[in-house]
Chains A and B, each alone.
Chain A
């Protein structure tokens, strides 16, 4: 497929991205076109106006070639670009069909007038041409010789001997053609006719997903910053979508003018002071995602939530957003195959991922947690919280902490937890465990016996029943050994608490309550 964007320099609105040359702008568009085809290239010419897409075997994804072309055309239209599309057997034929009006019907013998180049008609040309398979060579015959993308001097020589139409080359001996007009003529002709391969000058895949916009006039207004962010995220998500990836972490950077210094200190002084006082201060933040996403609304929502709470040092001079970590986007099909089984909530996993993203974005990654059980006798160490969002900047756990007992594979964590819970028939643990055991005054009668009475938070509790002791002696490898005698107690009012006596000094502590 060839996409011809007539008068490309005029079509792209240069005001949107000043300082970007035509070719770079076209390459950006080509990257955006990756959403239609995995292989996209820019025309190899001094003033490129065309993109090449390899659409072999893609048409069934869109229905047929016609709807594929229409999809691309509509998407370009939404970007405010008018284009003429052609789908043909070869690159050359597609280019020719995009740039020149084909005679209709193709079979007509010797149409009188030569198709005029469409380029003269201004940038408004748009349309879709599909050359049926196997018809390319036939179609080319009627097109002017310019349709072969020949260098200017070759064209002039051809015109001077009266060759206007590609079909006129047919009866001429090929060796003479190559000798008189250079090998490029024969090459292009063969390539257009499909007798010689012509590779698409494909763009390298995008690796860095970064967008940035500077402001000519710094602004401190948040609405403006937000709308810039919205535009940037839109562009970023196009880049991501084009390469089939989703962001796992977004880094956002707002460059702010440090107002005091920038206004009163002349430039020389700023340069002198060098690294000590940069002319701007940057506010940076990053947002992690639970599941890779390229949806602009979702990404923007996450960034906006952080932006709300950000204190800006001064007017913003530039905004940049980078998808610092990306992962392949999961396709829709996977969401249907829900691991939770086909319940009424089988479509909700994506919503859940969105929830986790939102929570972690506002509360911080360390606030949205997944518990994991550890085989530890000391109650407060028998579990560990892991952030639900896996760290995208890999900070591996210390080897010691990774745990010999528990696999660090998150998938298995649940199963291991279940196994631990089943295998360990520990006595009941309280549902509420105090982070630090609280010293309490306890009355007991027998030296190593159960408690009879204790006071906690200003309340006196008479103990009616006690179960225990459950002796826990562990942790000598962590420092001083932990040795405790735990009692479950029920007070006269029926409340249940978890007390222990520290064996080292006989002091009593409250460690939790059975809520």
Chain B
């Protein structure tokens, strides 16, 4: 059954519209699922202004992966990072950079006090559009995030919510809908199975760079989207994205294998 984050099948159109709902297990599966999907996106689309063009994630293959060909304002996006140094944050920041193009700041909720602004600036975030909030407690952090999402002046909010119960999550989603900014939540991959109120849930895993000289490669899997869709895509950071410079300017890269005498 096609279930979307808390919306049970009972919210789908009744049997009058779809008398053959039972066939879903049978042969006519493809077209019916497609029809249902369209109906759902219509239902969902009520809250979304028609003229609202999607926001690019700043990364073409990722845009192609997303069912709406991009992210939508007024929604939450979850980035599940697999472990430290996975690259999820970089992707989220690139998306935030795109969201900030139309004006409005990026608000970063850095409770761990580990966010490093110089690198964010290098990735193309404008310094005077960057606000960093360092809350003392988790409750304060979530409250502040809610406030920022609710504010129409904010283009994007980036946060690392530690624990997110369903109610808080829903509140954040409603806040984002009200403020029409983009809420970027970076979460550990352990929450994959938890219910989500986010519009899109993406799972970012690093891929080992095969040979030296290739940019950083990440695999992004679309775990869940309100508009359906799925699949995964491999992206690579290149120089033009101002994400990672490949050539180390100060020193020649030392090949560990050669250095090790292997």
A residues contacting B by CB (< 8 A) are 338, 340-341, 343-346, 348-352, 354-356, 358-359, 362-364, 366-373, 379, 382-383, 385, 388, 413-414, 417-418, 421, 425-435, 445-446, 449-450, 452, 456-457, 459, 463-471, 488, 490-497, 512-515
Q: Which of B51-65 contact A (CB under 8 A)?
A: none
Q: Which of B201-235 contact A (CB under 8 A)?
A: 205-209, 212, 216-218
Contact A352 B153, CB 8 Å, known A345-B104, A430-B119 = yes
A435 touches B122 (CB 8 A): no
Whether, in the assembled complex, B151 has its beta carbon less than 8 Å from a beta carbon of chain A, the answer is yes
What size tier do the contact residues of chain B reach? 35 or more
**Complex alpha-carbon distance, A434 and B143, angstroms:** 25
B133 touches A418 (CB 8 A): no
B221 to chain A, nearest CB (A): 14
Q: Which of B81-99 contact A (CB under 8 A)?
A: 81, 83-90, 93
Q: Which residues of A contact B118 (CB under 8 A)?
A: 373, 379, 382-383, 421, 429
Q: Which residues of A contact B259 (CB under 8 A)?
A: 445-446, 449-450
Task: Give 6 new A-B contacts, CB below 8 A, not counting A352-B104, A429-B122, A449-B260.
Answer: A345-B103, A367-B136, A370-B128, A464-B209, A493-B206, A496-B87
Contact A371 B117, CB 8 Å, known A351-B153, A446-B260, A490-B209 = yes
B102 to chain A, nearest CB (A): 5
Whether, in the assembled complex, B25 has its beta carbon less than 8 Å from a beta carbon of chain A, the answer is no
Q: Which residues of A contact B209 (CB under 8 A)?
A: 464-465, 490, 494
Cross-chain pairs A/B with CB under 8 angstroms, 14 sampled: A345-B104, A348-B153, A356-B131, A372-B127, A417-B128, A427-B248, A431-B89, A431-B119, A450-B256, A452-B260, A488-B248, A514-B90, A515-B86, A515-B88
Q: Of B93, B116, B133, which is within 8 A of A429 by CB?
A: B116
Residue of A369, A428, A466 contacting most chain B CB atoms (<10 Å): A428
Q: Which of B109-159 contact A (CB under 8 A)?
A: 113-123, 126-128, 130-136, 140, 143-144, 147-148, 151-155
A470 touches B250 (CB 8 A): yes
**Complex alpha-carbon distance, A17 and B66, angstroms:** 65
Whether, in the assembled complex, B11 has its beta carbon less than 8 Å from a beta carbon of chain A, the answer is no
A354 touches B86 (CB 8 A): no
**Complex alpha-carbon distance, A459 and B217, angstroms:** 22
B245 touches A515 (CB 8 A): no
Q: Which residues of A contact B250 (CB under 8 A)?
A: 427, 470-471
Contact A493 B83, CB 8 Å, known A348-B153, A431-B119 = yes
B197 to chain A, nearest CB (A): 22
**Complex alpha-carbon distance, A345 and B105, angstroms:** 11
**Complex alpha-carbon distance, A94 and B168, angstroms:** 63
Q: Of B83, B104, B140, B152, which is within 8 A of A362 by CB?
A: B140
Q: Of A385, A428, A433, A493, which is within 8 A of B114 by CB?
A: A433
**Complex alpha-carbon distance, A475 and B169, angstroms:** 45
Q: Which residues of A contact B130 (CB under 8 A)?
A: 370-371
Whether, in the assembled complex, B14 has its beta carbon less than 8 Å from a beta carbon of chain A, the answer is no
Q: Which of B15-41 contact A (CB under 8 A)?
A: none
Q: Of B102, B144, B261, which is within 8 A of A344 by CB?
A: B102
Q: Of A370, A456, A497, which is within 8 A of B131 by CB?
A: A370
Whether, in the assembled complex, B249 has its beta carbon less than 8 Å from a beta carbon of chain A, the answer is yes
Q: Of A350, A417, A459, which is within 8 A of B121 by CB?
A: A417
**Complex alpha-carbon distance, A170 and B144, angstroms:** 75
Residue of B123, B186, B248, B249 contacting most chain A CB atoms (<10 Å): B248
Shortest Cβ distance from B212 into A: residue: A465
B248 touches A468 (CB 8 A): yes
Q: Which residues of A contact B153 (CB under 8 A)?
A: 345, 348-352, 355
Q: Which residues of A contact B248 (CB under 8 A)?
A: 427, 467-468, 470, 488
Q: Of A356, A428, A445, which is within 8 A of B244 by CB?
A: A428
A440 to chain B, nearest CB (A): 12
B85 touches A495 (CB 8 A): yes
Whether, in the assembled complex, B251 has its beta carbon less than 8 Å from a beta carbon of chain A, the answer is yes
A456 to chain B, nearest CB (A): 8
A418 touches B127 (CB 8 A): yes
**Complex alpha-carbon distance, A513 and B144, angstroms:** 26
Q: Which residues of A contact B260 (CB under 8 A)?
A: 445-446, 449, 452
Q: Which residues of A contact B132 (CB under 8 A)?
A: 368-371, 385
A425 touches B249 (CB 8 A): yes
Shortest Cβ distance from B214 into A: residue: A465
**Complex alpha-carbon distance, A344 and B249, angstroms:** 41
**Complex alpha-carbon distance, A492 and B261, angstroms:** 19
**Complex alpha-carbon distance, A307 and B222, angstroms:** 45
Residue of A354, A358, A371 contacting most chain B CB atoms (<10 Å): A371
A16 to chain B, nearest CB (A): 36
Q: Which residues of B contact A382 (CB under 8 A)?
A: 118
B246 to chain A, nearest CB (A): 9
A515 touches B143 (CB 8 A): no
A363 touches B144 (CB 8 A): yes
Shortest Cβ distance from B243 into A: residue: A428
B208 touches A493 (CB 8 A): yes
**Complex alpha-carbon distance, A335 and B208, angstroms:** 50
Whether, in the assembled complex, B254 has its beta carbon less than 8 Å from a beta carbon of chain A, the answer is yes
B239 to chain A, nearest CB (A): 11
**Complex alpha-carbon distance, A413 and B130, angstroms:** 12
B155 touches A359 (CB 8 A): no
Whether, in the assembled complex, B253 has its beta carbon less than 8 Å from a beta carbon of chain A, the answer is yes
B133 touches A431 (CB 8 A): no
**Complex alpha-carbon distance, A351 and B147, angstroms:** 11
Q: Of B116, B131, B140, B254, which is within 8 A of A432 by CB?
A: B116
**Complex alpha-carbon distance, A400 and B151, angstroms:** 38
**Complex alpha-carbon distance, A358 and B135, angstroms:** 13
**Complex alpha-carbon distance, A450 and B121, angstroms:** 28
Contact A363 B254, CB 8 Å, known A446-B259, A494-B209, A497-B85 = no
Q: Of B103, B205, B254, which is within 8 A of A450 by CB?
A: B254
Q: Of A344, A494, A497, which is within 8 A of B217 by CB?
A: A494
Q: Which residues of B contact A346 (CB under 8 A)?
A: 103
B119 touches A373 (CB 8 A): no
B256 touches A464 (CB 8 A): yes
Q: Which residues of B contact A513 (CB under 8 A)?
A: 84-85
Q: Which residues of A contact B120 (CB under 8 A)?
A: 431
